[in-house]
Amino acid sequence: MKLFKKICIGLTALLLAASPILTHITNFQTVEAARKSKGKITLFKNDYVYNQAGNKIKLNVNHSYRVPSDFAVSPTGYLITDMKSDDLGDHRSSQPYYGTKKINGQKFYDLGHNYYVNEANVLKVKGRNVAQGTLTIKRDALVYTEAGKATGKKLRTNSVVKYQGKAKAATKTPKYFYYLRDVARYLQPQSIPTYKIKGKYFYSLGHNRYINAANVGYINGHLVRYNGTSTATVLKNTNSITVNYSEAKRKLKKGQKIKLDLAVIPYLSDGFDNYLYRLHGHPDEYVDATEIKLQRDLPVIDYRDLVYTYVMPVTDNSVELYDTSGKAIGKRIMKPAYSNLTVDGLMYLWVPEENKAELFYHCLNYSDAS
């Protein structure tokens, strides 16, 4: 999923001489070609690009400009990385780096020409996974002892620290967890050990040092998710929608705080773009990810698992069909090759022959019904 949507990039060469920033950017590849790369880095998410002082680089979006390969521009005009990955995040592009630098106490990778990325977003260096065994801090976090006493130390946003314990697959979804792949139909939660201190969940850093799990954004380079409800702020006046994008009656106002409890991978017709989020307490209403600012990331479910499921015939490879009056219509539906029957509902129908109500599945239509 893209963190930012690209804005239109002009190609007008006449403006290059008028803007030092434009010359700075368009000369990127020529100047850096003379430097020797230390290798390549791969990011687990795209983010802002910084200068050597640790400031985000902002471009003048009122003019046309060119952006080097693997970079883009946020809607607010900041330069961002744009390394590509497939929808499942399995295959990501890499980019040369020319060394590292400490900026304001944090490690940055030099992408050349005074462009830097924070190590908090780096997954691999020279093909080696450097995020494994680490936590990435998403907001300033105090460090505590096992007794819940503050040590006086604080980890700043984007700090990367080692944790104690081993990651493993969870048999049931824990309070804090992550997926190895977010955009996949069947998802098995992964987790690392947590410790309850004064009613809150903490991760161990070793040596009697702990941080609140709520302040951690990534584990091993994977987004941390919260198994519960999350507050979100509505970014513009809108309406809630159904999972099929039909507008619902509930009006949501800009600045309104709402509760959400599930992230839904929508029907993938043209590649994955954004999640839909379910309104807590309103199981048939959703809001698009672009219309909210979410406080905590939530468990993921696939659209198909919300609208239908699969059943297997227990006798043979076909089942008899009935109408809504509970009478057999003389047709059977065949089990599709390599899969089971697809259904989207369960209901009671009165069966005259048995003089009682029985449960029936509502089967979706198949071309091989006969």
160 in a structural domain: yes
pLDDT confidence tier of residue 274, bands split at 50, 70 and 90 = confident
Cα-Cα-Cα-Cα torsion 262, 263, 268, 273, nearest 10 degrees, comes to: 160
Number of structural domains the chain divides into: 4
Nearest of 276, 280, 219 to residue 242 by alpha carbon: 276
293 in a structural domain: yes
Residues in the chain: 370
Please, which residues have CB within 8 angstroms of residue 354's CB and are 6 or more apart in sequence? none
> What average pLDDT does this structure show over 193-212?
98
| CA distance linking residue 261 with residue 287, whole number of Å | 11
301 in a structural domain: yes
Q: Which residues of 308-318 are buried (b: 16+ CB within 10 A; e: fewer)?
A: eeeeeeeeeeb
Q: Which residues of 152-185 are buried (b: 16+ CB within 10 A; e: fewer)?
A: eeebeebbbbebeeebeeeeeebebbbbbebbbe
At which of 177, 195, 225 does a domain end?
225
Residue 21 shares a structural domain with residue 45: yes
Q: What domain range includes position 253?
A: 230-306
Give the tens place of pLDDT for each residue, 41-82: 999 889 999 999 999 998 875 555 567 677 898 888 899 999
> What average pLDDT does this structure show over 205-223?
97
Give the tens place of pLDDT for each residue, 222-231: 999 999 999 9
Q: Answer yes or no: are the C-beta atoms of 225 and 297 closer than 8 Å.
A: yes
144 in a structural domain: yes
| pLDDT at residue 35 in the model | 81
Residue 56 shares a structural domain with residue 119: yes
Out of 75-89, 233-247, 271-285, least confident range: 75-89
Which CATH number covers residue 277? 2.30.30
Q: Answer yes or no: are the C-beta atoms of 273 and 288 closer than 8 Å.
A: no
At which of 290, 306, 322 does a domain end?
306
146 in a structural domain: yes
Burial class of 250 by CB neighbour count within 10 A (0 to 12, 13 to 18, 19+): middle
> What average pLDDT does this structure show over 118-137?
96
At which of 192, 225, 258 does a domain end?
225
291 in a structural domain: yes
Looking at per-residue pLDDT, the higher value among 112 and 363 belongs to: 112
Instruction: Tell me how far apart the terminal alpha carbons of the chain are, to the nearest angstrom.
Output: 43
